[in-house]
Amino acid sequence: MNIILLSGGSGKRLWPLSNDIRSKQFIKIFKDEVGNYESMLQRVYRQIRTIDDGAAVTVATSKTQVSAIRNQLGDSVGISVEPCRRDTFPAIALATFYLHDVLGISAEEAVVVCPVDPYVSDEYFVALKELGHLAVQGDAKLVLMGVEPTYPSEKYGYIIPETKDEISKVQTFKEKPNAEIAAEYIEQGALWNGGVFAYQLKYVLQKAHELLDFTDYYDLYAKYETLEKISFDYAVVEQEKNIKVKRFNGSWKDLGTWNTLTEAMEEQAIGQAIMNEQCQNLHVLNELDVPVLCMGLKD
Protein backbone atom coordinates (compact mmCIF):
# COMPACT_ATOMS: atom_id res chain seq x y z
CA MET A 1 0.00 0.00 0.00
CA ASN A 2 1.27 3.46 -0.95
CA ILE A 3 0.12 6.23 1.38
CA ILE A 4 0.62 9.98 1.18
CA LEU A 5 0.09 11.78 4.50
CA LEU A 6 -0.71 15.47 4.11
CA SER A 7 1.16 17.38 6.80
CA GLY A 8 1.70 20.87 5.43
CA GLY A 9 -0.56 22.88 7.73
CA SER A 10 0.22 24.56 11.03
CA GLY A 11 -3.12 23.98 12.75
CA LYS A 12 -3.66 27.64 13.62
CA ARG A 13 -7.20 26.94 14.84
CA LEU A 14 -5.43 25.44 17.87
CA TRP A 15 -3.36 28.57 18.54
CA PRO A 16 -1.41 29.13 20.78
CA LEU A 17 -0.78 25.39 21.27
CA SER A 18 -0.19 25.00 17.54
CA ASN A 19 1.49 27.59 15.31
CA ASP A 20 4.01 27.97 12.46
CA ILE A 21 6.91 27.07 14.77
CA ARG A 22 5.23 24.14 16.54
CA SER A 23 2.50 22.46 14.49
CA LYS A 24 -0.19 20.41 16.22
CA GLN A 25 0.74 17.12 14.53
CA PHE A 26 4.13 17.05 16.29
CA ILE A 27 2.98 17.79 19.85
CA LYS A 28 3.00 14.71 22.09
CA ILE A 29 -0.39 14.81 23.79
CA PHE A 30 -1.68 11.24 23.36
CA LYS A 31 -0.59 7.99 24.96
CA ASP A 32 0.36 4.83 23.08
CA GLU A 33 -0.44 1.27 24.13
CA VAL A 34 2.30 1.22 26.81
CA GLY A 35 1.63 4.68 28.21
CA ASN A 36 4.28 6.71 26.38
CA TYR A 37 3.32 10.08 24.97
CA GLU A 38 3.11 10.31 21.19
CA SER A 39 2.14 12.93 18.63
CA MET A 40 -0.67 12.82 16.05
CA LEU A 41 1.94 12.00 13.41
CA GLN A 42 3.44 9.16 15.46
CA ARG A 43 0.02 7.77 16.31
CA VAL A 44 -1.15 7.65 12.69
CA TYR A 45 2.16 6.18 11.50
CA ARG A 46 2.05 3.49 14.23
CA GLN A 47 -1.50 2.56 13.25
CA ILE A 48 -0.55 2.28 9.58
CA ARG A 49 2.32 -0.06 10.49
CA THR A 50 -0.03 -2.13 12.69
CA ILE A 51 -2.36 -2.78 9.75
CA ASP A 52 0.25 -2.96 6.96
CA ASP A 53 3.86 -3.20 8.09
CA GLY A 54 5.06 -3.06 4.51
CA ALA A 55 3.18 0.12 3.56
CA ALA A 56 5.23 2.74 1.72
CA VAL A 57 4.48 5.98 3.57
CA THR A 58 5.36 9.40 2.16
CA VAL A 59 4.70 12.61 4.07
CA ALA A 60 3.89 15.67 1.95
CA THR A 61 5.02 18.64 3.97
CA SER A 62 6.62 22.07 4.00
CA LYS A 63 10.40 22.30 4.30
CA THR A 64 10.06 23.78 7.80
CA GLN A 65 8.63 20.48 9.10
CA VAL A 66 11.18 18.06 7.66
CA SER A 67 13.43 17.96 10.72
CA ALA A 68 10.46 17.34 13.06
CA ILE A 69 9.26 14.46 10.87
CA ARG A 70 12.71 12.88 10.76
CA ASN A 71 13.06 13.30 14.52
CA GLN A 72 9.75 11.54 15.23
CA LEU A 73 9.62 8.89 12.48
CA GLY A 74 13.26 8.33 11.52
CA ASP A 75 14.61 7.78 8.03
CA SER A 76 12.30 4.97 6.91
CA VAL A 77 9.49 7.34 5.85
CA GLY A 78 9.57 9.16 2.52
CA ILE A 79 9.19 12.95 2.44
CA SER A 80 7.88 15.05 -0.43
CA VAL A 81 9.04 18.57 0.41
CA GLU A 82 6.98 21.56 -0.69
CA PRO A 83 9.18 24.65 -1.24
CA CYS A 84 6.23 26.75 -0.01
CA ARG A 85 2.56 26.25 0.82
CA ARG A 86 0.26 25.99 -2.17
CA ASP A 87 -2.78 24.07 -0.83
CA THR A 88 -3.63 20.41 -1.40
CA PHE A 89 -3.74 20.07 -5.20
CA PRO A 90 -0.14 21.24 -5.78
CA ALA A 91 0.97 19.24 -2.72
CA ILE A 92 -0.67 16.03 -3.95
CA ALA A 93 0.57 16.55 -7.51
CA LEU A 94 4.15 17.09 -6.30
CA ALA A 95 3.99 14.03 -4.02
CA THR A 96 2.57 11.89 -6.83
CA PHE A 97 5.39 12.86 -9.18
CA TYR A 98 7.86 12.26 -6.34
CA LEU A 99 6.59 8.69 -6.05
CA HIS A 100 6.76 8.14 -9.81
CA ASP A 101 9.84 10.09 -10.93
CA VAL A 102 12.06 9.86 -7.85
CA LEU A 103 11.04 6.59 -6.17
CA GLY A 104 10.22 4.81 -9.41
CA ILE A 105 6.75 3.59 -8.44
CA SER A 106 4.73 2.36 -11.40
CA ALA A 107 1.99 4.61 -12.78
CA GLU A 108 -0.35 1.60 -12.54
CA GLU A 109 -0.04 1.39 -8.76
CA ALA A 110 -2.56 2.98 -6.41
CA VAL A 111 -1.93 5.55 -3.74
CA VAL A 112 -4.15 6.63 -0.87
CA VAL A 113 -3.96 10.25 0.28
CA CYS A 114 -5.15 11.15 3.76
CA PRO A 115 -4.63 13.85 6.41
CA VAL A 116 -1.99 13.35 9.06
CA ASP A 117 -4.26 14.24 11.96
CA PRO A 118 -7.41 12.07 12.10
CA TYR A 119 -8.12 10.51 15.51
CA VAL A 120 -9.35 7.10 14.44
CA SER A 121 -9.46 3.42 15.29
CA ASP A 122 -7.31 0.87 13.46
CA GLU A 123 -10.28 -0.11 11.26
CA TYR A 124 -9.85 3.25 9.50
CA PHE A 125 -6.54 2.00 8.09
CA VAL A 126 -8.13 -1.29 7.09
CA ALA A 127 -10.57 0.85 5.09
CA LEU A 128 -7.62 2.71 3.50
CA LYS A 129 -6.29 -0.60 2.18
CA GLU A 130 -9.70 -1.38 0.72
CA LEU A 131 -9.75 2.03 -1.00
CA GLY A 132 -6.38 1.21 -2.55
CA HIS A 133 -7.69 -2.13 -3.84
CA LEU A 134 -10.72 -0.38 -5.37
CA ALA A 135 -8.47 2.16 -7.09
CA VAL A 136 -6.34 -0.64 -8.61
CA GLN A 137 -9.48 -2.21 -10.12
CA GLY A 138 -9.88 0.94 -12.20
CA ASP A 139 -13.70 1.04 -12.21
CA ALA A 140 -13.52 4.65 -11.00
CA LYS A 141 -10.95 7.39 -11.50
CA LEU A 142 -11.12 8.35 -7.83
CA VAL A 143 -12.29 6.46 -4.75
CA LEU A 144 -13.20 8.50 -1.68
CA MET A 145 -13.88 7.68 1.94
CA GLY A 146 -17.22 9.00 3.15
CA VAL A 147 -17.65 9.17 6.91
CA GLU A 148 -21.09 8.34 8.28
CA PRO A 149 -22.25 11.62 9.88
CA THR A 150 -23.29 11.66 13.53
CA TYR A 151 -24.88 15.12 13.48
CA PRO A 152 -25.51 17.93 10.93
CA SER A 153 -22.08 19.53 11.11
CA GLU A 154 -21.22 22.84 9.45
CA LYS A 155 -17.47 22.03 9.53
CA TYR A 156 -17.37 19.43 6.74
CA GLY A 157 -18.22 19.13 3.09
CA TYR A 158 -20.72 16.43 2.10
CA ILE A 159 -20.64 13.60 -0.42
CA ILE A 160 -24.03 12.47 -1.72
CA PRO A 161 -23.83 8.91 -3.10
CA GLU A 162 -26.20 7.47 -5.69
CA THR A 163 -27.16 4.54 -3.44
CA LYS A 164 -26.95 3.51 0.19
CA ASP A 165 -24.64 0.61 -0.61
CA GLU A 166 -21.29 0.35 1.17
CA ILE A 167 -19.61 1.31 -2.11
CA SER A 168 -21.49 3.62 -4.45
CA LYS A 169 -20.96 5.99 -7.33
CA VAL A 170 -20.98 9.62 -6.24
CA GLN A 171 -23.93 11.73 -7.30
CA THR A 172 -22.65 15.14 -6.20
CA PHE A 173 -20.60 17.12 -3.69
CA LYS A 174 -21.82 19.87 -1.40
CA GLU A 175 -19.68 22.50 0.26
CA LYS A 176 -19.83 23.23 4.00
CA PRO A 177 -23.51 24.12 4.62
CA ASN A 178 -25.32 25.56 7.62
CA ALA A 179 -26.79 23.10 10.12
CA GLU A 180 -30.29 23.17 8.62
CA ILE A 181 -29.10 22.33 5.11
CA ALA A 182 -26.65 19.76 6.50
CA ALA A 183 -29.60 17.97 8.11
CA GLU A 184 -31.32 17.85 4.70
CA TYR A 185 -28.19 16.36 3.14
CA ILE A 186 -28.03 13.68 5.82
CA GLU A 187 -31.66 12.77 5.11
CA GLN A 188 -30.56 12.19 1.50
CA GLY A 189 -27.88 9.75 2.71
CA ALA A 190 -24.98 12.20 2.52
CA LEU A 191 -21.60 11.41 4.06
CA TRP A 192 -18.97 13.68 5.54
CA ASN A 193 -16.03 14.27 3.22
CA GLY A 194 -13.10 12.91 5.26
CA GLY A 195 -10.45 14.28 2.90
CA VAL A 196 -9.28 10.81 1.79
CA PHE A 197 -8.62 10.04 -1.90
CA ALA A 198 -7.40 6.89 -3.65
CA TYR A 199 -6.30 6.72 -7.29
CA GLN A 200 -3.85 5.10 -9.65
CA LEU A 201 -0.77 7.30 -9.99
CA LYS A 202 -1.34 7.71 -13.72
CA TYR A 203 -4.62 9.54 -13.05
CA VAL A 204 -3.03 12.44 -11.13
CA LEU A 205 0.06 12.36 -13.36
CA GLN A 206 -2.25 13.09 -16.29
CA LYS A 207 -4.42 15.61 -14.42
CA ALA A 208 -1.38 17.57 -13.28
CA HIS A 209 -0.09 17.85 -16.85
CA GLU A 210 -3.53 18.99 -18.01
CA LEU A 211 -3.74 21.75 -15.40
CA LEU A 212 -0.11 22.77 -14.92
CA ASP A 213 2.75 23.68 -17.27
CA PHE A 214 5.78 21.54 -16.39
CA THR A 215 7.74 18.49 -17.58
CA ASP A 216 8.60 16.28 -14.60
CA TYR A 217 9.00 16.25 -10.79
CA TYR A 218 12.12 18.41 -10.85
CA ASP A 219 10.55 21.02 -13.12
CA LEU A 220 7.37 21.04 -11.00
CA TYR A 221 9.46 21.55 -7.87
CA ALA A 222 11.33 24.45 -9.49
CA LYS A 223 8.07 26.13 -10.55
CA TYR A 224 6.18 25.33 -7.35
CA GLU A 225 6.23 28.87 -5.99
CA THR A 226 4.41 30.13 -9.10
CA LEU A 227 1.49 27.68 -8.79
CA GLU A 228 -2.02 28.77 -7.90
CA LYS A 229 -3.19 27.96 -4.38
CA ILE A 230 -6.08 25.56 -4.92
CA SER A 231 -7.44 22.52 -3.13
CA PHE A 232 -7.57 19.03 -4.61
CA ASP A 233 -11.35 19.10 -4.10
CA TYR A 234 -11.81 22.18 -6.31
CA ALA A 235 -9.16 21.37 -8.94
CA VAL A 236 -9.84 17.66 -9.42
CA VAL A 237 -12.60 16.01 -7.38
CA GLU A 238 -15.44 18.38 -8.25
CA GLN A 239 -14.55 18.17 -11.96
CA GLU A 240 -14.41 14.37 -12.15
CA LYS A 241 -17.57 12.44 -13.08
CA ASN A 242 -16.33 8.90 -12.47
CA ILE A 243 -15.97 8.70 -8.68
CA LYS A 244 -16.92 6.09 -6.12
CA VAL A 245 -17.25 6.46 -2.37
CA LYS A 246 -16.81 3.88 0.35
CA ARG A 247 -18.77 4.37 3.55
CA PHE A 248 -16.85 4.38 6.83
CA ASN A 249 -18.88 4.08 10.02
CA GLY A 250 -16.06 3.53 12.50
CA SER A 251 -14.63 5.91 15.07
CA TRP A 252 -13.41 9.14 13.41
CA LYS A 253 -12.56 12.61 14.66
CA ASP A 254 -11.00 15.55 12.89
CA LEU A 255 -8.75 17.12 15.54
CA GLY A 256 -8.89 20.60 14.07
CA THR A 257 -10.62 22.41 16.92
CA TRP A 258 -10.13 22.72 20.68
CA ASN A 259 -13.37 20.84 21.32
CA THR A 260 -12.43 17.78 19.26
CA LEU A 261 -8.85 17.79 20.56
CA THR A 262 -9.79 17.84 24.25
CA GLU A 263 -12.47 15.19 23.69
CA ALA A 264 -9.79 12.83 22.35
CA MET A 265 -7.27 13.46 25.14
CA GLU A 266 -7.12 11.04 28.05
CA GLU A 267 -5.83 13.61 30.54
CA GLN A 268 -6.74 17.18 31.42
CA ALA A 269 -3.13 18.17 32.01
CA ILE A 270 0.20 17.12 30.52
CA GLY A 271 3.36 17.75 32.55
CA GLN A 272 3.61 19.20 36.06
CA ALA A 273 0.32 20.97 36.66
CA ILE A 274 -1.59 21.86 39.81
CA MET A 275 -5.38 21.54 39.76
CA ASN A 276 -7.36 22.17 42.94
CA GLU A 277 -10.47 23.81 44.36
CA GLN A 278 -8.98 27.29 43.86
CA CYS A 279 -9.50 26.88 40.10
CA GLN A 280 -13.13 28.00 39.81
CA ASN A 281 -15.41 30.28 37.78
CA LEU A 282 -13.11 29.91 34.77
CA HIS A 283 -16.07 29.82 32.42
CA VAL A 284 -16.90 33.43 33.24
CA LEU A 285 -13.44 34.57 32.16
CA ASN A 286 -13.24 32.30 29.12
CA GLU A 287 -14.88 34.66 26.65
CA LEU A 288 -14.09 32.45 23.67
CA ASP A 289 -16.02 29.59 25.29
CA VAL A 290 -13.41 26.98 24.35
CA PRO A 291 -11.85 24.23 26.48
CA VAL A 292 -8.60 25.14 28.21
CA LEU A 293 -5.67 22.73 27.87
CA CYS A 294 -3.02 22.90 30.58
CA MET A 295 0.50 21.80 29.62
CA GLY A 296 3.14 22.01 32.35
CA LEU A 297 6.90 22.37 31.92
CA LYS A 298 9.52 20.69 34.07
CA ASP A 299 12.11 22.85 35.85
Range in 1-15, 24-38, 248-262 with the lowest mean pLDDT? 248-262
pLDDT (0 to 100) of residue 8: 67
Domain boundaries, the chain: 2-266
Mean pLDDT across 155-171: 93
Give 2-266's CATH code, choosing from 3.90.550.10, 3.40.50.10190, 3.30.565.10, 3.40.50.300: 3.90.550.10
pLDDT band at 26, cuts 50/70/90?
confident
Q: Percent of the chain scored above 70 by pLDDT?
A: 80
In the three-class reduction of DSSP (H, G, I as helix; E, B as strand; rest coil), residue 34 is classed as coil
pLDDT band at 156, cuts 50/70/90?
confident
**Is residue 220 scored above 90 in pLDDT?**
yes
Return the closest-CA partner of residue 123 out of 229, 247, 25, 254: 247
| H/E element, 49 | helix 40-51
Q: How many CB atoms lie within 10 A of CB 291?
A: 15
pLDDT (0 to 100) of residue 250: 85
First to last CA, the chain: 44
> Cα-atom radius of gyration of the chain, to the nearest Å?
20
Residues 68, 40: contact at Cβ < 8 Å? no
| pLDDT tens for each residue of 244-277 | 999 999 888 766 554 555 555 555 555 555 555 5
| pLDDT tens for each residue of 112-143 | 999 998 889 899 999 999 999 999 999 999 99
Mean pLDDT across 57-79: 93
